[in-house]
Amino acid sequence: MTAKTTRNKGMIDCTRGLSREQRAINRRNKLDSSLVSSRGYKRSRNPHVNWILKRIAATEAFCKFEDNLSAIAVQRFGEPLPDREDSNIAFEERSFGEIVKPGEITCPISTNYAVDLSSLVVSIALFDGDKMLFACSGIPIPHGRTTQSLTRFVTSAHLVTQFNQNRNKDDKLRVAVRLPNNRATDGFLGLYDKDIAIVTCFGFLGVHRIDLNDKAKPFPVDNLKAAGRAFNSGSLMAMRGSLYQKRPLEHLEDLNTWVSDSQHISKAVLGGPLLGSDNKIVGMSLDIYDPGDANLRYTFLPMDLLCKRLKHFQILNPEKLHNRGYTLPKDVSSVVPSGFMQTVCRLKSCDYPIPPPLVLEFNGQLFNHFEECFGEVLPWKGYPYGHPPSGSEKCVWNQLPKDIVTDVPRRVVSLASFNGYVRTFACTGLLIKWHGSKAKHTVILTSASLVRGRCNEDSIDNSLTIEVFLPPNQHAGGTLEFYNLDYNIAIVSLNKNFNAIRPDDIFTKNAQNKCKKVVAIGRDAKLHLLMAASGEVKPGNKGCKVVCEDVRLSTCKIKKAGIGGPLINLDGSFVGMNFYDGSGVTPFLPRHKIVKVLSRVNSLPSECGYNHPMPINVISGTKKGIQKNKYFFLFSHCHLFLFA
């Protein structure tokens, strides 16, 4: 009988109930039960438990958000990959020719210098987990000028073919390199063309590199030796052969062919050196082909052509290579490293340059992108992703009156332009009351960089679509109404009305605020969080990279997402529209100049039945005329990859 039952019957309860220890055990069990059931996010009376549950929910919400973006990007820009097949038969290495012991063959690599052939040949293998899928050979090449300690090997492009054919949804393929000292190290597959591929290892590995500047003598018709190394045993092998014909078939172009004297067939020879009668390297074996006469032959690339290929790859002259707007040389491709398919697809979806594979492998970072935050970040009410990204400043929003902090989130939007599924630009915009409409339509004041042509920055790309975002869940298409490229101004109308907005009336004459302190506002392009950076208006525009007499400067430090965003005083009045030039200060177009430009037009083109945006023509206020357009454009679109 319980104590409660005893009391109800009018009886006296002489028991003390549960012991202190039992009550502690029950509390602990209740806490454990709450944590176990955290997937349901049930509220608890324990504030610490609620905090943990809230963090778990925020983390899962953000991961789900990221996974959704990655899945969409892979679906639109990736290639469908098959499931991993465990039934695949592992690659079986075949020996060929004779085993070459260290010091048995000396290979001249320059006029007065010769090295052991064993130090010039490595084995390169492709694995899926612990299963070997393919193995061939490679030759060390000069490391060139690089800030990283790297060792590069050139090998047959057949390795890339096997990499692409065996790629699966697990995306865990890896490359390993067996060195002459029988030590194995990780390799990174990178650039390739139809014949050769480059594998890079981190560190200087103590291998001898071939001299590509030493011109090889014309190779003989016979007395050729082809060398290769096995991965599992680490053994160096060589077999004899002879030149078959200099130009075998049209589809093989500049390749030559040789045939083995013993008709041994082994893929370990691919990527290995081909030696002449004097043991000097005359080429590199590339592939095996069957001409249909029952005699399999090997193709090889002569040394002079190999040197030209590597120079074209910019392997030997990396001082010409930079990662700003990185593009591949003609007819050269780049492997998407295993595990980075989502990353590359996300970059493609945002129209960012695809970096060299090593930049991805070594945790390279993309700088000057639209997703960078600045100032103090302000999440919207009900923000579900936990703590927002940290900006560069604190205590900016509390400098503004409460009514302004309430109004700004309802009038500052995030915009993005798209070419199909590819986002070409992202920036911030300000909802304003249009002066010429009797109905006081709400439009968006923003930067014309949103819709500029990428090939011709002095024009508007009418094929772009515009999307507008206002957190937490308002989203609409936008229509370009007016633009002025001289001052980089654009007016965008909404295709549907937003709720609970408070557009700014920039055409109303406000009292002049003599306070120099200002705040630059923006929204980031990913989560559309509000950002604010404080500063002061500078006298004049000395040091501004945007060539325009009418542009002023503030000391607010913003990022690219702040382009087109408003600059306001501490009382909330509109001061101007921000631009970005990467100089550490913020150029802005003053309010009076914006009003002067927009006052030249009244009715919106969409109100008059026009389907095309209309330019607002004004007399330029620059010494160098239209040249300033290029500055507005270039600073808005440049990106940079660096090693972290």
Compute the average pLDDT of residues 478-492. 94
Which value, in Å, is the radius of gyration of the alpha carbons in the chain? 33
- Residue 201 one-letter amino acid: C
pLDDT the model gives residue 517: 92
Looking at the DSSP bridge assignments, the partners of residue 200 are 152, 188
pLDDT the model gives residue 639: 59
pLDDT the model gives residue 45: 64
For the ranges 60-69, 290-299, 307-316, the lowest mean pLDDT is seen at 290-299
Q: Are strands 614-615 and 474-484 parallel, antiparallel or unpaired?
A: parallel
Q: Give the mean pLDDT of the chain.
A: 83
> Has residue 622 got a pLDDT over 60?
no
pLDDT the model gives residue 325: 53
Compute the average pLDDT of residues 424-428. 96
Compute the average pLDDT of residues 75-104. 84
Domain 376-505+512-613 falls under CATH 2.40.10.120: yes
pLDDT the model gives residue 262: 79
Q: Which of 47-51, 356-360, 537-541 has the highest mean pLDDT?
A: 356-360
Angle between helices 341-349 and 47-77 (to 10 degrees): 80
Domain 98-247+254-308 in this protein, CATH class? mainly beta
The domain ranges of the chain are 98-247+254-308, 376-505+512-613
pLDDT the model gives residue 407: 95
Compute the average pLDDT of residues 457-462. 87
pLDDT the model gives residue 626: 38
Tell me the pLDDT tens digit for each residue of 319-336: 444 444 567 888 999 999
Are 550 and 593 within 8 A, CB to CB?
A: yes
Helix (H, G, I), strand (E, B) or coil at 499: coil
CA 218 and chain centroid, separation = 46
> 72: pLDDT confidence band, cut at 50, 70 and 90?
very high
Q: How far is CA 412 from CA 348, 376, 449, 591, in A?
A: 27, 15, 17, 16
pLDDT the model gives residue 147: 65
pLDDT the model gives residue 71: 92
pLDDT the model gives residue 156: 96
Tell me the pLDDT tens digit for each residue of 52-70: 888 888 889 999 999 999 9
Q: What are phi and psi of 425, to 5 degrees?
A: -160, 155
For the entire predicted model, the pTM comes to 0.81
pLDDT the model gives residue 169: 86
Whether 376-505+512-613 and 98-247+254-308 are alike in CATH topology: the answer is: yes
Looking at the DSSP bridge assignments, the partners of residue 614 are 482
pLDDT the model gives residue 387: 86
Looking at the DSSP bridge assignments, the partners of residue 236 are 229
Neighbours of 25 (CB within 10 A): 12
* Three-state secondary structure of 436-481: CCCCCCEEEEEEHHHCECCCCCCCECCCCEEEEEECCCEEEEEEEE
Are 276 and 282 within 8 A, CB to CB?
A: yes
Tell me the pLDDT tens digit for each residue of 123-143: 999 999 889 999 999 999 987
Q: HSE-up of 528 (CA within 13 Å, CB side)?
A: 22
For the ranges 12-21, 350-359, 604-613, the lowest mean pLDDT is seen at 12-21
pLDDT the model gives residue 494: 95
